[in-house]
Structure 1
Amino acid sequence: MNVLVYNGPGTTPGSVKHTVETLRYLLEPHYAVSTVSSKVLLQEPWQTKTSALVFPGGADLPYVKECRPIIPAIKDFISKQGGKFIGFCAGGYFGSSRVEFCQGDLTMEVTGNRDLQFFPGTARGPAFSGFKYKSEAGAKAALLTLSNGAQFHSYYNGGSVFVDADSYDNVEVLAYYAQETDVPYTDNSDSSVKPAAVVLCTVGRGKVLLTGPHPEFIPKVLEKAHDNEFPPHLIDVLKQDDTKRIEFMHHILEKAGFKTRSDYTEYRAPSMTPILVTTRLQTKDRYTELQQNLKNNTECVIDGDHLEFSGEVDRFQLYQGYEDSLAAATAPLDNDDPEKSIKTLIIASDNEIFPSKQVTTNFNFENYFSTLKPENTVGSLLLYGEVLTSTSTLLNQNRSLLNSLPDNSVLFVGDVQLSGRGRGGNTWVNPKGVCASTAVISLPLVSPLTHQSTPIAFVQYLAMLAYSKAICSYEPGFEDLPVRIKWPNDLYIMSPDYYYSKNLNLFGSSFDHNQVPLTDIEPAYLKVAGLLINTHVFGDKYTLLLGCGLNISNNGPTSSLNQWVDILNVERRKNGQHDLPHIEKEKLLAEYMNNLQDIMHIFVNRGVQYLLPDYYKFWLHSNQIVRLTEHANTRAMITGITSDYGLLIAKELEPGSDYRFTGTTFHLQPDGNTFDIFKGLIAKKA
C-alpha cells in the first residue's frame, strides 16, 4: 500500500525531504512512500491503494486553499475507509478543528476554523515565541516528555500546542512539551492540564497522528542546511537525542497502526555505487562511440585517470577498467546527498569484457548477454548501478549525456533507486527485488516505409506489451501467470488473497482473465509494475526513455512475480509437473529487450494495427462497462483502442442493457482522462 506525502503549495522542500526520508526509513518495504500533488489527489483513484496521507511542515493557509476540493475525499478516506492521516507541524494545524496562530500579531496572525476537524479542539501556536517565516531563527530543540516519563529533544519551529487534548475521549496524548509554552494550552482552570505536543486521534474507522514539533526531522540533514540564522548549538543537542527520536517515531507510527521495519535500529540506507557500462566483445566499439559523442556534445576534460564532463544538472566522471577503477570511482560519491553527488561511470578496459563478481555480486552480466539475441541492438549497451538515484531522471535531466548514447542501444538498470520517479511527479525509493530499468529507444519522426508520422502515444502500450510477453514466455508454464495490463501502461497481477478466497486453479489455463468477473477487478488485482515515458527530440528522431519498475521478488507492499511462481508450483506438483524456476532479472530484462526490438520494428515499418491484437490479449478491459462522468454518467462498454492516435473506444449502451449499443461512440485520450478500473469511471481531467 502507498503512503502519500503531500508536496505542493504550502510545503517547504526541507520538510518534505525530512518527512519522506524518515517514513521510508521506518516503513519500507511494507509501504511505498512517495510524494503526491493535490492534482493527483483530486483526479486519481488514490484511496483504494493508499494506507496513509501525510501533510508535512510548511504553512497551513496554502494547504486550506489548495486542498479545499479534496477535503471530503480525505475525510471519507479516514473515517469510512479506515485510512491514516499524519500531520507534522503545519499539517497538525491543518488537521485540527480550529487554528489560532500568532494572535495579536497583525503581520502573521491566522485564526479560523478548519474543515478536516480530526483533532476536535484548537491547535494554538507558536507554542514557543520567536518564529519567523522562511527562517530557522526561531528554531528550538524542544524537550518532549512521553507518557512513560522518558524525555528527548525534538526539532521545533512554529508548531502548535493541542489545547486541552486530554479532555477529548477520542484523543490520546503521546508527548507533552516539558517546558511551559508561550501560549495558553488550556481554556479551563484545571491546573493538572499539560501542554500536548503530539496527539493520536481516533476518527471513525481511521487514525490521525498530529504533531506540533518535528520528530521526523533528521539532525544529519539539518546540519547541511545553509541558513545563517540557524542556532549553531541546536544540532549538537538534536544529535545527542537522535536514537531516542527514532525510537519515538517508531513508537507513534506503530500506535497509529502502521507495520514498521523490525530492524530499524540496525538499518542503514544503502550507499551509492558507480554505474557500470558493459557490452559484448563484438560491440566494444560502442565505448569509443560513447566517448567520442561525449567529447562532441559536452565540455570534457581529462583529469588524471578519468574523463570529466557536466550534463545539464549533474556532473560525471568516466573511468576505464572495472576492477582497477572501482575504488577511484567510488570515492567521489556523496552518500549523504545522492542528488548533488558526482555520478561516476566505468567502462571495460581493453582486456575486460564483463565486471567480475568482486565488482558486483548482484547482477549476472553473462546471463543477461547470453539471453539477449545476438542481432539485438536495443539493450546491447547495458548501464548498471547497484544503488543510484533514478535511471530515468539521470538521463532525462542531462540531455547532453542522453544525446551522446549510441542510438537504440541502452538499457539502464538499477537494483536500488533512491529517487525513483512516477506519474504526477511522485517519488519513491524502490528496494531490492523491484527491478528498475530505463530503455532508451530512438524512433523516426516519420516512418521511412509508410511515410506516416510516428504516433508515439502508442509506445507506452507497446513497451508494457513487450514486458508482458517476456514474462509469460519466460519458460513453458509461465503463460499461467495471472498478469494483465491496466490501461494504458501499468501491469497488474492477481492478488494471492483473492486467488485463495475463490479457490481458483490456474494450471494449464494460459491464464484466462475472464475467470475473474469484471466487478471483482478491485479485490482481484494488485499493481506489480508501472511505466513512465519521457520524450526528447533530437534532429529527425524521437528519443524515448521507457522507465519501468517491476516487482520481481519483493512481496511488500503488494505481490511479486516470484511469489506467484511459488503459488503456481503448488498446483504444478499436484498435477505431476516439475517446478518452474524463480525469475532471474537478468534473463527477464534481456527477453524484454528482445521483444521490445521486434515490436518497435513492426510499429515503425508496418503500423500499430499489427500489434493491437496482442495488446488486447494482455489487457484487463475488454467488454468492461464504465460510466462517462463528463457525459452525464453515460454507461458505455470498452471495445478497444483507435489505431490512429491510441484513443480509448467506449460505445454507449442502451438504458438497462449490458450488450445493446445506441450507436454513439466516445474516444478518450490516455493522458486527458482518468480511467479508474476499480470504480468503472472515466473522468475528464482539468
Structure 2
Amino acid sequence: MSPQLMNILIYNGDGCTPASVRNAYLTLSSLLTPHYAISTINASGILTEPWQPSCALLVFPGGADLGYCRSLNGLGISRIKNWVLSGGKYLGFCAGAYFASEKVEFEVGKGPMEVVGRRELALYPGICRGTAFPGFMYGSEAGARAVALKTCEDEEVLSYYNGGGLFVDADGKDDVEILARYEEPVQVEGGDAAIVYVKYGLGGAVLSCPHPEFAPENLERPSSETPYSKMIDNLLAAAPARIDFTRFLLKKLGLTISDGKTAPPPLSALHFSSMYPEDLNYIIQGLNEVITQDTPDAQKKLNLEHDEFILYEADPKPGVTFQSLTFDHTPLSLNTLQSSRIPAVFREKDKGIDKVVWPVLTYHNSHPDKSRTPHFNHAAFYATLDHIRSLSRYAPSLFGQHILYGQTVTSTNTILEQNFGLISRLPSGVTAVATHQTAGRGRGQNAWISPEGALIFSVFIRHGLQGTGGGAGSKGVVFLQYIAALAICRAITTSAKAYAQVPVKIKWPNDIYLAPPHAPPTKLAGILVNSSFANNTFLLTLGIGINLSNPHPTTSLNNYCAASLPQLPHPAFTHEAFLAKLLVTLEETYLEFVRNGWSGSIEKDYYRFWMHQGQEVALEDDVVEKGINRTLRGHVEGVDSESGMLVVRGIKGTRWEVRSDGNSFDFMRGLVRKKVN
C-alpha cells in the first residue's frame, strides 16, 4: 500500500510574491480542509526532500517565473516533471502557468519588461503569451482588474487578474482541454484560452493565467474610493460563481473538496498554565530578558524570531481594567478576554505566511476553566497526570507540568521550536497542546492533517550534552523519535489489560500504524523532532500527532477500539486522560533511555512493535547504471544501536546503513530511495 496523498504543497521561494502565496494558502485551506494538509515548500525542499510519495498537489503561485527557473532548473524540474509523469498533479497560477509552459513570451518589445525563453518544465506543449491586458507593473496593482471568463460549462466567472497571459493556439492541441476563455478582447495574438487542463503522462496540470484563488475579502482595500476598491466590490458581488469554479478546477485534479462546513477555524488565543499555578510566576520571570514592553496594565510583549506573543494575566490584579487593554490596535473587553476565541493575526514574514501575533492568557492563581477552553479540560488533565505519576517507579515530574494550550494554532512545533528566545528560557517538559492545527508539520515536507478529534502536542526537552548514562549526549537526539514511538505503543497497550490486543506497530523512522492481521495497515500517529543547541544543551521539540477520535483521513484509535474491542467502554480514550498517560509513559521511557541507553529492555521492547523485521527492500542509491539509479536488494535487520540508522543486509552479506533524513521511504512497497552508506 502506497502512502496516502494527503499533502498540498505551495511553492514559496525565489520569484514568489507574498500575496500570491498567502491567497493560494487561504483559498486552498478553505476548500480542502480537513481532507488535506496545506503547507509551503521551498526550493531546497523540492530538490532534496522526499515530498513526492505523499503529495496530492504541487502549487506554483504568482510572482516572476525567472526566479523559479533560477532555483529549480535541472534537478528540481526533473523531479517535478517525473512526478507528474508518474501521476502527480500540478496547479499553476499566473507565473506558475508561465513557468509550466514550453515557452514564455512576456511583454515582447517592451524593453526591460520583456521575458522570452523556453522553459524546462513544459507541461503545456506551446507558448504562454502575455500580458493579456495592459497596465502590468511588477510589485504594483496598477494592472490589476476583474476579468470576465466563460467556462467550459458555459458559466460566467469574474476573476482577479494581474499580468497573466494566454495559451497560444490551445484549441486542437492533443491532451489540452480549455477550461475557461477570456470574454474581453486581449492585447496579444494567439486566441483566448485563459485556463487549461493538460494531461501529462499519468498525471495532469491545471494552468491558470488569471487568479481565481484571490478571494476579494483577502485583498487590501484602499482607504478611499478608487478603481481598485471598485474592483474588489465587483469581485465580492460575483464571488459565489468564482468559488464554484475554483472547486471545479480542484475536482479536475482529482481532489476531494470540503462540504463548506469544515473551513479551517480562525486562530485562537493561547492559555499558559501550570499544575501548581504559582509556578508560572517563575517561568514568566525567566522571560523578562525578551519582554520588549511591560505596561502597568499587565500587558507584556515578546517579539521573537518567528512570532510575537502578548501576555495578559487571566486573573488581573486589583485596579487593572481589561477595558484599557488592546490587541492589534483593537480594544479588548472583559468578555473578549474571557472568550476562548481571541483572534490571533496572520503576519507575513519575508515571503512566509505563518508569522503570528499570539495573545497569551497566563494563569497565576488558577487553571483555565471550561468556559475559556471548552475543548480541553485542564483540571481533568492535571488531576489525571498527578494520579498516573504517583503510580510510576521512575518519579516523572516534568512532562506536562506546564501546558500552553490553543484551540486553533498553526503548529505546536512551530510555536516552540521556531521561537528560540522562548524555548531557551523555558524549563524542560513544557507542553504545547492544540485542538486544531492549520499547518501541522511532519518529516521532510510532509504535513500532519489535524482534524477535530486528533490529539496534537509538542513537548520541549532539555537534553544535556554531558552525562554518564547510556543515552546521554548527542545520541539522545538521534534516538528520541524511536523513544517517542515506543512510548506511544506502550501507552496504548498498557492503558488496560484488554488494550494489549491493539495491533500498534512502529513504521521506521517515525510513524505508528494500526496493523490488524487481515487488513491493510493504516497510519495512526506521526512524530517530528526538531533540535537546536545552546550552552552545552540540546533544546529538543518533540511533536506528536495521534488520530485519537477522528474517523478521517485514515482511522482513529477510538474508532478501532469501538469496532474491535466492543467489550470495553467507549470512547476508549479521552484527550485529557490519554495525553496524561502518554506524557508519563514518554517521560518514563526517556528517563530509562538516558540512564541505560538503547541496548537492553528498550531495544527489546521496540522490536516487539517493529513492523519491518526481515522485510525485503530495494534500495536505490546515487549510482546511475544504464540511465537509471542502481537498485540494491536486501533485508531489514533493525536499527544500529550506536548510529540510529536503519540496517539493511544485502543478499551477498553486505551491510548498509540508511539515514532517516534525506531519504524517501515507501516501506509498504518495500522501497527505500536515495542515500546508502
Please, what TM-score do these two structures have when normalized by structure 1? 0.83
The 8 Å contact of residues 440 and 543 in structure 1, kept in 2 or not, is answered as yes
The aligned residue for residue 496 of structure 2 is: 475
Question: What SS is found at the alignment partner of 1:185?
Answer: coil
Contact 1:98 1:112 in 2 (8 A): yes
Alignment of 1:455-604 (within 5 A): 455=475, 456-494=477-515, 504=517, 524-569=520-565, 577-578=567-568, 581-604=571-594
What is the rounded CA distance, in whole Å, between the counterparts of 2:641 and 2:222 in structure 1? 52
User: 1:342 and 2:357 equivalent?
Assistant: yes
Which amino acid in the other structure matches residue 246 of structure 2?
A: M
1:466, 1:596 within 8 Å by CA — same for their partners in 2? yes
Q: Tell me the equivalent position of 1:436.
A: 456
Distance 1:316 1:143 in 2: 43
Residue number in structure 2 paired with 1:684: 675
Q: Deviation per CA, 1:273-304, whole angstroms, max 9, x where unpaired?
A: 22222333xx3332121122123554451341
- Please tell me the residue identity of whatever aligns with 1:366: A
Seen in structure 2, the aligned counterparts of structure 1 residues 38 and 487 have a Cα distance that, compared at 3 Å, is farther
Q: 1:371 aligns with which of 377, 380, 384?
A: 384
Write the distance in 1 (CA, Å) between the matches of 2:49 and 2:471: 37
The Cα RMSD (Å) is 3.2
Question: Which residue in 1 is equivalent to 2:197?
Answer: 200
Q: Which residue of 2 aligns with 1:270?
A: 265
**AA partner of residue 603 (structure 2):** L
Partner of 2:616: 625
Supply the distance in 2 between the matched residues of 1:36 and 1:428 (Cα, whole angstroms): 14
After superposition, residues 167-566 of structure 1 pair within 5 angstroms as: 167-168=172-173, 170-186=175-191, 195-223=192-220, 231=228, 233-262=230-259, 264=260, 269-280=264-275, 283-296=276-289, 298-299=291-292, 301-321=294-314, 327-328=336-337, 333-335=343-345, 337=347, 339=354, 341-348=356-363, 350=365, 352=366, 354-372=367-385, 373-374=389-390, 375=395, 376-405=397-426, 407-424=427-444, 430-449=450-469, 453-455=473-475, 456-494=477-515, 504=517, 524-566=520-562
1:230/1:79 Cα in 2 relative to 1: closer, same or farther (>3 Å)? Answer: farther
SS of alignment partner, residue 620 of structure 1: coil
Letter in 2 for 1:357: K
Q: Match for 2:314: what amino acid?
A: G
- The residue that corresponds to 1:512 in the other structure is none
Contact 1:43–1:674 (CA under 8 A) maintained in structure 2: no
Q: Deviations over 1:407-465 (max 9, x none)?
A: 22311101112333334456677332232211011222111456963412111221222
Distance across 2 between alignment mates of 1:139 and 1:419: 30
Q: 3-state DSSP class of the match of 2:186?
A: coil
The one-letter amino acid paired with 2:235 is L
> Aligned-pair distance for 1:177?
1.1
User: Hey, what's the Cα distance between the residues in 2 that align with 1:297 and 1:6?
Assistant: 33
Distance in 2, matches of 1:450 and 1:492, equals: 29
How far did residue 207 of structure 1 move? 3.7
Query: What is the DSSP-based 3-state SS (H/G/I as helix, E as strand, rest coil) of the residue aligned with 1:603?
Result: helix
Cα deviation per residue 1:223-258 (whole Å; 9 max; x = unaligned)? 1799xx995544333333333322221232234432
Matches of 1:215 and 1:614, distance apart in 2 = 53
Q: How many corresponding residue pairs? A: 629
| Equivalent residue for 1:121, pick from 99, 118, 126 | 126
Counterpart of 1:356, as a letter, is D
> Structure 2 vs 1, CA of residues 272 and 39 (structure 1 numbering), >3 Å: closer, same or farther?
closer
CA distance in 1, matches of 2:257, 2:343: 29
Q: Which moved more, 1:483-492 or 1:141-150?
A: 141-150
1:551-575 alpha-carbon deviations (Å, 9 max, x no partner): 2233333333233224424xx5xxx
Partner of 2:55: 50
- Structure 1 residues not aligned, in runs of 5+: 187-194, 507-523, 655-660
Give me the whole-angstrom Cα distance separating, in 1, the residues matched to 2:455 and 2:618: 35
CA drift of 1:679 comes to: 4.5
| C-alpha contact (below 8 Å) 1:418/1:428 kept by paired residues | no
- Give percent identity, aligned residues only: 35
CA contact under 8 A between 1:45 and 1:676: conserved in structure 2?
no
* Alignment check: 8 A CA contact 1:492 1:528 kept: yes
TM-score between the two structures when normalised by the length of structure 2: 0.84
1:140 — aligned with what? 145
2:626 equivalent in structure 1? none
- Report how far residue 385 of structure 1 moved: 0.8
Alpha-carbon spacing, 1:58–1:554, altered in 2? closer, same or farther (3 Å)? farther
Q: Contact between 1:329 and 1:345, CA under 8 Å: does it hold in 2?
A: no
- 1:637 aligned residue (631, 635, 638): 635
CA distance in 1, matches of 2:335, 2:596: 45
CA distance 1:134–1:619, change in 2 (3 Å): farther
Q: CA 1:640–1:344 in 2, change beyond 3 Å: closer, same or farther?
A: same
Deviations 1:481-524 (A, max 9, x none): 33322222222334xxxx7xxxx558xxxxxxxxxxxxxxxxx4
Can you list the C-alpha shifts for 1:337-390, whole angstroms capped at 9, x where unaligned? 59555322223353x3x3222222211223322332245321111221111232
Q: What corresponds to 1:517 in structure 2? A: none
- Report what 1:13 is aligned to: 18
Question: Contact conserved, 2:470 with 2:593, CA < 8 A, in 1?
Answer: no
Structure 2 residue matching 1:553: 3-state secondary structure: coil
- Indicate if the aligned counterparts of 1:277 and 1:346 stay in contact, CA closer than 8 A: yes
